[in-house]
Chains A and B, each alone.
Chain A
């Protein structure tokens, strides 16, 4: 019954109703798990710096050494191929998925669920299982389109559907598209004009986010490309890893860094600006 209160008792009064764990416990958990997660990344950097005598930038500089050009050609070829595939996937997102999503929202609200269902299928069906059905379609399409890159790009357009659709959907929900369109139409704008002058600017954030997530997915794709015998970035990394594991690790690091930047930008544009309080 003393009026002198110790810190300990004050904390006990808190503990019985506070959800949060004690700060020291929380910090310990996060530091330990954070270190465990940092370890493979640190190991990659360390591995890429190994030389025959110790550590150095040999492997990094060697990447741009003309003497190695022939050796690394498949790798850069794979990079170009993956970037091309990403462009095709983005084109599909903007030219097919976006107009269809808008059309469904504006004119065929009953089909919204159907579209949602379709865009989720590529997640539900594992790529390794889908590739069994994709192989004959790839074989048939290539006879018509005559470009393996384009056909694979079309397939990647499907792979990015779940991610891109969600990004687009979020930005479409954020604004009242039907009202905007009605307003523009009532002022006499034609449909193409509405699309280019109103919807594209308004949905800019969603389109950028959808494009970036598409790049991230395409740059990391290995399953389908390798089983359809296409040389994209990941396939090239795997094949070079047998002769030069250092370069494989360097390219993995670079790809990871690039994807991190893409996702960071998405995070930045996707969340509306809010006040941040530091504690």
Chain B
């Protein structure tokens, strides 16, 4: 009785063992297919990332040191981080606000209208339009000989630069940055805004609510996560931007990316050898904080979102 009973069980287990062996062999060959990409990503992404995070802890001769990390609290470095955060905050806030207003204005036109399609297409180009080319666009516009500078002086008698030429200083970054921030916000925020259902506003109205009631109690709360998400994206975007600043500002290192440039080019900055590593670490830490903030935001709103 027991023997006959156990026989099928044993046979079953043997079969499954055999299938498992065959299965792992079957997985092994396709698994090899993953190797080239894995190696490539390891060498050109993961190792550089790890190096960027850790070089700050070593000196040129490879010995461990806290020296570079300690430099992160050096007043000069703190000031550049402050500058970077300030300019990111400002351009993200303005970009998010103006971008949201553009999206709101677009609501007045049908989603299938040519106007909306072209604004979205133009936004996707301009959101990519960072870097060096953007710097030249603004030099041509509000540089010393720029079109707007000349027009303002000749036609209205207004001097754009009564004192120093701020385009090549930190404040000069604000307008160029907004030039890619606003389109990026339009791209990020428009889907959320078009997601507001007409039935919600109609329900609000039939329940006695005014336009303001709708925005205060439904519209703004529903859009807030998308708006905040867009803001964080814009913030990260400004914070990590380098090329525009590099092309505009050739003197000094007012923001972190420019300070990394200086640290990479010159032998020593603030008497330290691997300051670039410490600065990169600082930047990455801030980016991670931004992303954690973003996912915390998502989690908070998850209670009423699918």
Contacts and interface: CB of A to CB of B under 8 A. Distances in A.
B140 interface: yes
Contact of A97 (B37, B55, B146): B37
Nearest to A92: B40
A40 B148 CA distance: 9
Given A33-B98, A234-B132, A26 B109 contact: yes
Main secondary structure of the interface of A (DSSP, over half): helix
B300 to A, nearest CB: 21
A133 B132 CA distance: 23
Nearest to B176: A40
Contact of A256 (B104, B109, B133): B133
- Most central of B48, B136, B138, B204 by chain A CB within 10 Å: B136
A132 B52 contact: yes
Interface stretch (A57-65, A118-126, A168-176): A118-126
Interface in A97-142: 97, 99-100, 103-104, 107-108, 111, 118, 121-122, 124-137, 141
Nearest to A30: B105
Contact of A43 (B45, B47, B126, B147): B147
A252 B137 contact: yes
A76 interface: no
Contacts of B47: 133, 137
Contacts, number: 252
Interface string A203-244: 000000000000011001111001100000010011001000
Given A136-B51, A238-B132, A103 B30 contact: yes
Interface in A13-50: 15-23, 25-27, 29-30, 33, 37, 39-44, 46-48
Contacts of B182: 33, 37
Nearest to A229: B265
A263 B44 contact: no
A18 B201 contact: yes
B139 interface: yes
A249 B247 CA distance: 13
Contacts of A25: 105, 108
B196 interface: yes
B128 A46 contact: no
What band does the interface of chain B fall in when counting residues whose beta carbon is under 8 Å from A?
35 or more
Contact of A96 (B40, B55, B119, B126): B40
A133 B50 contact: yes
A124 B115 CA distance: 33
B287 A126 contact: yes
Given A16-B211, A137-B44, A103 B34 contact: yes
Contact of B52 (A99, A125, A267, A278): A125
Contacts of A19: 107, 196, 198, 201, 219
Contact of A20 (B108, B265, B276): B108
25 contacts: A16-B211, A17-B205, A20-B107, A26-B104, A26-B106, A40-B140, A44-B141, A47-B140, A103-B34, A107-B27, A124-B288, A129-B279, A130-B49, A132-B52, A132-B260, A134-B48, A158-B44, A158-B45, A220-B131, A238-B132, A238-B246, A256-B125, A256-B133, A277-B112, A279-B113
A-B pairs with lowest CB-CB distance, top 7: A126-B240, A133-B51, A133-B48, A133-B52, A26-B108, A17-B205, A252-B133
